Amino acid sequence: MFYFFVHLVHIFSVFIYGGFLFTDNLFLSRMQKDLGDKYLEAREQFMKYVRQVVPKALIVAVVFGIYLFSVNFGSIENGELSNFQKVLLLKAFLGGWLGLRGVLQVFFGIEPLVFKSHRFPFILVIVIIFLSQFMFVVK
């Protein structure tokens, strides 16, 4: 039951983070043409509420993801990783990178050196979603 709860909260947190990236990349970026000078004000109003929820959801997703990783990784047989473990490691690395980037940016004010827009994290979230489905096929 505990695993189910952790998994559910993890997925919900990922939906919050991914939903923000989806909205920012597919809607807000296109509103700039229509709103002109009012775009910055509209974006700031949106971000005011985003900053209250999304960073916390990202931290919850990463922390719970670490727990899920530890439960699902399993043992290494014959000194070799299974295909499942390889895909899970890649997924965990990408998720951890997003989490570290988000924590450094939001809580410590450290701007990323590269990939300053939300486009790259959005692409990574999509890749992670595909990997999460793919890893159960490659067992």
Whether the per-residue pLDDT at 120 is higher than 80: the answer is yes
pLDDT of residue 43: 87
Would you place residue 104 in the very low, low, confident or very high pLDDT band (cuts 50, 70, 90)? confident
| Whether the Cβ atoms of residue 57 and residue 42 lie closer than 8 Å to each other | no
Confidence of residue 115 (pLDDT cuts 50, 70, 90): low
Q: What is the mean pLDDT of the chain?
A: 90
Q: Using the predicted structure, report yes or no on whether residue 23 has a pLDDT greater than 70.
A: yes
DSSP for 33-97, written as a single string: HHHGGGHHHHHHHHHHHHHHHHHHHHHHHHHHHHHHHHHHS-PPBTTB--HHHHHHHHHHHHHHH
pLDDT surpassing 90 at residue 127: yes
70 Ramachandran zone, left/alpha/beta (phi>0; psi -120 to 50) = alpha
Which residues face 77 on adjacent strands?
A: 80
Q: What pLDDT is recorded for position 22?
A: 92
Distance in angstroms (rounded) separating the CA atoms of residues 21 and 88: 22
Give whole-number Cα distances, 39 to 36, 42, 59, 139, in Å.
Answer: 6, 5, 29, 47
Q: Which amino acid is at 71?
A: V
All residues at 6 or more sequence positions from 101 whose CB lies less than 8 Å from its CB, including other chains: 112, 121
pLDDT of residue 31: 87
Radius of gyration of the chain, Cα coordinates, nearest whole angstrom: 17
The pLDDT, as a whole number, for residue 28 is 85
pLDDT at 71: 95
The pTM for the full model equals: 0.84
